[in-house]
């Protein structure tokens, strides 16, 4: 397969790494500091500095103590409701007709739908029933327990190879070396994507999915170029797979040969591909970094993991709860309604803060602490709830479990040993950089 990666001077393809799009964004903000929005309301948690500096916890705790819903009349994203309790988020997600996900109503993040920024690609996460049901069905068979079993060996082999290659007694960035690499590898295995080109998935995902970038109009052209490049690559892959007599087990072959695909137009196919790449990328990546950071912050829990590997499946759930790699999703009211004593108007924006629901003391004892023996860790909302609950949850859980099992097998202990840089965003919740050192236990 010919590669479409940008070329270096010597004619060899160069695979861009993830910070590229982010660096471009930062440069832009330096050039246009007046573009940086201001936030004045005390409960305006759309401000990204509180996530970058990891000081969002008391603000949400104060809101939860006062009630499940809080109205913010003014913000750089317009007016919105903060939904902060576990119960209220489940309630809203269980009523998808009343609380819509569709682009037509405003989309799935606090950010308004931005036609010029190219965010309007149709994808089923931003569709309501019945369209959502049909399109989700085209990809759901790739995530059954049987498929997970099929992928287990290859994910385990790739994970083991990477862990064996890590330097000992040397400081390195866990985000780039492990989290990005393993997540990209997992997606390449899912898609049957050419292994040598896998870093393109990371590159495309950063440009397509970074909501900060989507707000900056100057970057729109560059973004379109990158997405166009991605379209051309997948079209070629698609043609190759369509010619195969026996459909392969990978997701692209599965989509091509699914009867529902006949009703999907090419923009929808592209939109759903982006959804799968972006949906699986930052989320799994940031949980892998979150695990290491949380184990370092709670060494008693790391010790427990080292002594009792049978706790690994529950540790995966607890680490996902603790990290919550997507801080929020958004719904828009399609009718006037009353909700937990508040009057909601048609068109109101409801921001469902999973980050807060997963620290809800009404459900989780000592919620700010990592506890890998927590009995109800599974009840976290990091994958959402209801008809849109994450379709890739099993795959993410599989990759995270394998990572912990393979680390344990090698008696690997990972310490934070240098810079820790968090993502400055209100949607993706994670780490840009996490410098670590590996020792043995």
Instruction: List residues binding ligand HEM (CB under 6 A).
Output: 93, 124-125, 136, 190, 275-276, 279-280, 283-284, 287, 320, 325-326, 329, 382-386, 388-392, 395-396
- Report the run of H or E that residue 440 belongs to, with start and end: strand 431-440
Pick from 206, 241, 268: which is nearest to 23 by CA? 206
Tokens representing residue 435 in the block = 């410098």
Pick from 273, 271, 245: which is nearest to 257 by CA? 245
Q: Minimum distance between the CB of residue 10 and ligand HEM, rounded to whole angstroms?
A: 34
Q: Minimum distance between the CB of residue 284 and ligand HEM, rounded to whole angstroms?
A: 5
Q: Minimum distance between the CB of residue 281 and ligand HEM, rounded to whole angstroms?
A: 8
The secondary structure of 98-164, three-state, reads: CEECCHHHCCCCCCCCCCCCCCCCCCHHHCCCCHHHHHHHHHHHHHCHHHHHHHHHHHHHHHHHHHH
39 or 193: whose CB is closer to ligand HEM? 193
18 or 284: whose CB is closer to ligand HEM? 284
Q: With contact defined as beta carbons under 8 Å apart, do 131 and 124 qualify?
A: yes
Tokens representing residue 16 in the block = 């861009």
222 or 405: whose CB is closer to ligand HEM? 405
Q: Minimum distance between the CB of residue 148 and ligand HEM, rounded to whole angstroms?
A: 11
- Report the run of H or E that residue 276 belongs to, with start and end: helix 266-297
Pick from 135, 275, 296: which is nearest to 191 by CA? 275
220 or 314: whose CB is closer to ligand HEM? 314
Displacement of CA 175 from its chain's centroid (Å): 14
- Report the run of H or E that residue 28 belongs to, with start and end: helix 19-31
215 or 324: whose CB is closer to ligand HEM? 324
Q: Minimum distance between the CB of residue 35 and ligand HEM, rounded to whole angstroms?
A: 28
Residue 82's contacts (CB-CB under 8 Å, 6 or more residues apart) are 43, 45, 63, 69, 70, 71, 72, 351, 353, 356
Q: Whole-angstrom Cα distance, residue 85 to residue 224?
A: 38
Q: Minimum distance between the CB of residue 40 and ligand HEM, rounded to whole angstroms?
A: 28
219 or 372: whose CB is closer to ligand HEM? 372
6 or 386: whose CB is closer to ligand HEM? 386
Q: With contact defined as beta carbons under 8 Å apart, do 269 and 261 qualify?
A: yes
Q: With contact defined as beta carbons under 8 Å apart, do 205 and 284 qualify?
A: no
24 or 286: whose CB is closer to ligand HEM? 286
68 or 96: whose CB is closer to ligand HEM? 96
Q: Minimum distance between the CB of residue 226 and ligand HEM, rounded to whole angstroms?
A: 20
Q: Minimum distance between the CB of residue 310 and ligand HEM, rounded to whole angstroms?
A: 22
Q: Minimum distance between the CB of residue 27 and ligand HEM, rounded to whole angstroms?
A: 29
Q: Minimum distance between the CB of residue 251 and ligand HEM, rounded to whole angstroms?
A: 8
Residue carrying the six token digits 């405003």: 106
Tokens representing residue 85 in the block = 């309790």
Pick from 344, 305, 366: which is nearest to 80 by CA? 344
Q: Whole-angstrom Cα distance, residue 287 to residue 429?
A: 9
39 or 198: whose CB is closer to ligand HEM? 198
């Amino acid at each position: 397969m010919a590669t479409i990666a940008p070329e270096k001077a010597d004619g060899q393809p160069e695979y861009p790494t993830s910070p590229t799009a982010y660096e471009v964004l930062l440069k832009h903000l330096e050039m246009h500091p007046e573009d940086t929005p201001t936030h004045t309301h005390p409960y305006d948690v759309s401000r990204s500095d509180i996530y970058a500096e990891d000081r969002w916890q008391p603000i949400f705790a104060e809101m939860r103590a006062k009630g499940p819903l809080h109205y913010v009349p003014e913000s750089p994203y317009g007016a919105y409701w903060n939904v902060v309790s576990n119960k209220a988020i489940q309630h809203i997600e269980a009523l998808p007709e009343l609380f819509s996900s569709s682009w037509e109503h405003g989309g799935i993040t606090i950010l308004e739908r931005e036609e010029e920024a190219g965010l309007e690609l149709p994808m089923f996460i931003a569709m309501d029933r019945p369209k959502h049901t049909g399109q989700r069905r085209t990809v759901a068979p790739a995530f059954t327990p049987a498929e997970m079993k099929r992928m287990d060996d290859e994910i385990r082999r790739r994970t083991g190879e990477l862990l064996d290659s890590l330097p000992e007694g040397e400081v390195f960035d866990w985000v780039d070396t492990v989290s990005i690499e393993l997540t990209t590898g997992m997606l390449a295995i899912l898609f049957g994507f050419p292994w040598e080109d896998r870093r393109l998935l990371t590159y495309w995902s950063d440009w397509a999915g970074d909501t900060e970038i989507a707000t900056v109009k100057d970057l729109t052209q560059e973004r379109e170029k990158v997405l166009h490049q991605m379209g051309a690559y997948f079209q070629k892959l698609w043609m190759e797979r369509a010619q195969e007599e026996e459909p392969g087990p990978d997701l692209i072959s599965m989509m091509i040969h699914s009867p529902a695909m006949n009703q999907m137009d090419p923009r929808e196919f592209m939109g759903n591909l982006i959804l799968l790449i972006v949906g699986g990328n930052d989320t799994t990546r940031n949980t892998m970094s979150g695990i290491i950071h949380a184990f370092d912050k709670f060494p008693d829990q790391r010790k427990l993991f080292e002594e009792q590997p049978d706790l690994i499946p529950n540790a995966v759930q607890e680490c996902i709860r603790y990290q919550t790699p997507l801080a929020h999703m958004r719904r828009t009211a399609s009718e006037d309604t009353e909700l937990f004593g508040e009057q909601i108007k048609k068109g109101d924006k409801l921001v469902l803060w999973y980050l807060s629901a997963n620290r809800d003391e009404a459900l989780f004892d000592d919620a700010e602490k990592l506890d890998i023996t927590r009995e109800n860790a599974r009840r976290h909302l990091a994958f959402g709830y209801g008809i849109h609950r994450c379709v890739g949850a099993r795959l993410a859980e599989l990759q995270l479990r394998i990572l912990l099992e393979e680390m344990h097998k090698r008696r690997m202990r990972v310490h934070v040993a240098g810079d820790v840089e968090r993502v400055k965003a209100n949607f993706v919740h994670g780490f840009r950089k996490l410098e670590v050192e590996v020792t043995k236990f």
